[in-house]
Each structure stands twice: as structure tokens, then as C-alpha cells.
Structure 1
């Protein structure tokens, strides 16, 4: 794998850390800013919605710039946003700072996915995406538990100062290792790029992504309260358990990339079905410390096994003209799923059957994604059938 792909991994690590670290700081932030845990969970929703808005806007705004410059600019926005988080004196300003930070997220991963796939042969494209997303998984394995530990011992603001430093380092790595664009940047007409969004297959792919990760984050957003209040772990035990989630992400991410390179349709169906099964089965383990710890790792593996298949599905259906925008929008879709999942988990806790029911409610969401995947794959056969029918009168 080219070293430039690993440079993208460094940027993904920084972004992944700031996105997920708040989940290990829910109780500390809620206590310091005097808001409920459910309200603090909305900091994840706010970030995710910022990604959803920022991805298409920044992708279109920077479409004529060299991709390397775009990546460095996005990391600068990310770094400034984390400094603002560290300084935020109130819940409202912390939410605003999180949204500013999130604006760079979708475009970074979208443009980064296109850059990564352009550096490798056709049969390695999904694996290249998986390697870039390894930064996200390592962030969860190391960055999130480390951030939770920092928050517990030095205050949650220290965590965001540390992430800002990571952002500066990531900028330097990208500037050094990512190759500059060769020649003038080729840009498809704006109308043609936007027209990609009207393709039913692209829209189905984006919706599958929203639903798949909606289920994951309905559980993961509230993993700290689940482990502490239901299973009976101490707050100090949460960080080591999150290490298993991160390890699962790494294994699932690389496995999903390899499966997608071999057979994308099979990978899409198998990974989505596995995610629904794991979420549902976790319900029976919530009061068993050993079993629930194992399932935390399994959720990580099942969740990120879907990433490369979902991203490649959207890239394939978007075509060359809409690849940048569709790629960024799929990252936005991941985060819209995060926001939806955080909201769904909060509603289940405060207005539904309660914290113990979050896992089985969450399982229903990727199950809906699986149904859409089946529909989408059946639609793949229609153009061939139509072409054969159209050619009959000429025979």
C-alpha cells in the first residue's frame, strides 16, 4: 500500500478521536456543564449533523482546488474547532464548537477516499479505503480510551487540547507525504455532479449507510451509562472496555475491505446482516460483565465491516463525474446515522422502554438497511434486462 494512504490514515485518526471521544466523557461533561446525560449525548448528534451539512457544501466549494490543499485546509478547520471546544464555557458554545469542528469531517473522508482509490489498482480499491479508515478505528482503540482517561484525571477540556495538537501533527504529515495533483484538476460540470444525487442507486446506498450506522450509534452513544448503570462496571472500567471496541473496529474494517474487493454484493449483504444479529443478541448479555465485554468488541467488528462495502457501493454507482460529491455525502450519511442513532437511543431511554432496551431497538435499524440492500442489488439486474429487450427489434 502506498505511504500516502497511511498519511490519510493519520488525518483520519485525528478526526475519529474528536468524533467519538465525547462518548467516554458524557458523565464528566454533563456534570461540569450541569446538563443531563441525554442532552450531552446530543453533542454527538450536533457533530453528526454538522458533517451532514458540511460535506456537500465544502466538497462543492473546494472542487476546483488541488486535493492535497483541500485535505490540509480541512485539518486546519478541525484543529481550530477543537481549540474552541477546549475553551467553551457553556453547553451552547461547546455545541457550536463541535459543529465547527465537524464541518471538515465529511469532505476529508470523501476526498480522502477518492485519493486513496486513485493510488492503487482496481482490485485493491476497497482495501485502500479500509486502510484509510483504519485511522478511525485506531482512534477508537487508542484515542477514545486515552481521551476518556485524560478527561477522568485532568478534566474533559484537557482531552480537546490534546486532540488539537494531534490535528497540527496530522497537517504536517499530510503536507509531507500526500503527493500533489498531477497537472490541472479535472472538474466535472457542477450540474452533472449534482445530478448524481438523482440516481436511485446512489440514494439507496446513502440510505443504507444512514440506517446501518444509526443502529450502531443508538448503542454506542450510551455505552458508558449501559456499562455503568446496567452491567455494574465502575467508570474507571469503561476505558479498558472501549479498547475492545476499538480492536473490533480494526479487525472488522480490514475484513470488510477484503470481502468487498472479492465480492462487493456478498460483502454488502453479509456485513449488514451480521450487524443486526450482533446488536440484537447483545440484549441478552447486558447483566453479564464477561459476555457484554465480548459483545462490545463484536459490535465494533460488525459495525466497521460494513464501512468499505458501503463506501465502495456508493462510489461505484456515482461514476467518475459524481465521485467526489457522492463519496463525501456517504461520509455525511454515516454521521447522519450517528445523529439518528443518538436521538433514537435518547428517545428509547427517556420516552420508551428504557436503557436496557436500547440494543434490541437498535437492531431494527440495520435490519431495514439489509432490506434496502436486497432491493438495490435486484435493481442492478434491470439495466441488463432492459438492454436485452431493447436490442430484440434490431435483431
Structure 2
């Protein structure tokens, strides 16, 4: 089980970064935010649909059923990708005077890129450090019942479905660094408030999701 989770995480992380790289290759800078906003809606959809479907299957067919569904859906998506998705190879036709390793080293030699990569790393580390403990924190600290957990995830997922496309559109219209700074400041406030909560009625902290 642990090995399967590790393998899933390794490939999931790669797929996540590749999908955003494909968006960057196919769409210009003025439309990229909007498209990435729609791509990120997948996280919201997974919380709205995935949690409820997974719980239903686990309760009625056993804990293995959600994993079997993921395998079946992954296989179907892989077939559709091979059959329908056009290869993104236009960038390979350009003449390169340097090897990929030289390009990578040259990228890391630039201070602006290092700052951006570091910021992205901190965002990922922070997010994926908190996510695994969200259910345990809600149950043990906020005293949310197990029956209320699906509602918590549903509200969070619905919020993502609405907010992510909106943020994407805003990112195409204003300075992206300004938007990033504002969003980071707001998120810091939300995280500090949320993680310092004790026993709290569900209706009070739902807006923080």
C-alpha cells in the first residue's frame, strides 16, 4: 500500500508539472492564466466528486473499490491520450546549440529563475504538508464529525471550481507578480487563523475553505 502511494505520488507530480508545461507551450502569455485556471479546476472537481464517490464505494464495496476505480479511470484516460491527444513536438524542431543539461544549468544560473523556483517549491511544500493532515486536524482539533467531513471537502472543492477560473482571468489582466503577492498575503492570514483554531462550529470555519 505504501509503495503504491509512493509510485502514485512520483508519477502524479510529474504529470502535474508536465500538464502546466504543455499549457505554457500551447497558449500565449495573455491567455495562459485563464487556461491554467481551468486546468486547476480539476483539484476542485476531485474534492467535490472524488471524495463522495470514494466514500460511497468504500462503504458499499470495500476499501479497495476506490483504488480500482482510479486504476480503471487512469487506464481509460491513458488510452484517450494516446488516441486523441496530438503530440506537442513543435519546440523540438528548433535548433539547439546546447544540451538539455546545459540549458538546465543556464536556467539555474539566473537569479530571477531561482527565486521563482524557490517560491514554487515553498508553495508546493506548504500545501502538500498541510493537505494530508486536514482531515485529522478537522476531526481532532475542530471536532468535526466524520459525517461532516464530506461537506467540508465539498465546500472546498466548490470554492476551487469558482475561484480558480476567476483567478486565471485576473492573472491575464493584471501584473502576475502583484496578484501572486496579494494572494500569498491573504493565504498567510487564512493559514495562521485556521491552524490556531480550537473547537469551532462548522459554519464558522467553512468560509476559510
TM-score, scaled relative to structure 1: 0.46
Structure 1 moving runs of 4+ over 6 Å: none
Whether the 8 Å contact between 1:256 and 1:271 is mirrored in structure 2 is no
Q: Is the 8 A contact 1:149 1:239 kept in 2?
A: no
Answering whether residue 104 of structure 2 is matched by residue 194 of structure 1, we say yes
Question: What are the ranges of 5 or more consecutive residues in structure 2 without an aligned counterpart?
Answer: none
CA contact under 8 A between 2:23 and 2:36: conserved in structure 1? yes
| Deviation at residue 224 of structure 1 after TM alignment | 1.8
1:253 equivalenced with 2:164 (yes/no): yes
Counterpart position of 1:4:
none
- Whether the 8 Å CA contact 2:22–2:88 is kept in 1: the answer is no
**Matched residue, 1:158:** 65
Q: Which has a greater percent of helix? A: 1
Structure-2 separation of matches of 1:198 and 1:148: 47
- 3-state DSSP of counterpart to 1:235: coil
Residue correspondence of structure 1 range 178-217 to structure 2 within 5 A: 178-181=85-88, 185-186=92-93, 188=96, 189-195=99-105, 196-217=107-128
Tell me: CA distance 1:125–1:236, structure 2 relative to 1, closer, same or farther (3 Å): same
Alpha-carbon distance in 2 for matches of 1:118, 1:135: 20
CA distance in structure 2 between the aligned counterparts of 1:230 and 1:220, rounded to whole angstroms: 15
Whether 1:291 and 2:204 are equivalent positions in the alignment is: yes
Unpaired stretches in structure 1, ≥5 consecutive residues: 1-93, 298-395
1:229 aligns with 2:140: yes
Residue 242 to residue 290, structure 1, CA distance change in 2 (3 Å) = same
Shift of 1:238: 0.9
| Residues 6-49 of structure 1: per-residue CA shift (max 9 Å, x gap) | xxxxxxxxxxxxxxxxxxxxxxxxxxxxxxxxxxxxxxxxxxxx
Aligned length: 203
Q: In structure 2, do the counterparts of structure 1 residues 142 and 192 end up closer, same or farther at CA, with 3 Å as the change threshold? A: same
Shift of 1:273: 0.8
Q: Does 1:242 align with 2:149?
A: no
Tell me what 1:81 maps to: none
Q: Equivalents in 1 of 2:199, 2:167: separation in Å? A: 27
CA contact (8 A) 1:285 1:292 kept: no
User: 1:210-359 alignment to 2 at 5 Å?
Assistant: 210-262=121-173, 263-282=175-194, 283-284=196-197, 286-295=199-208, 297=209
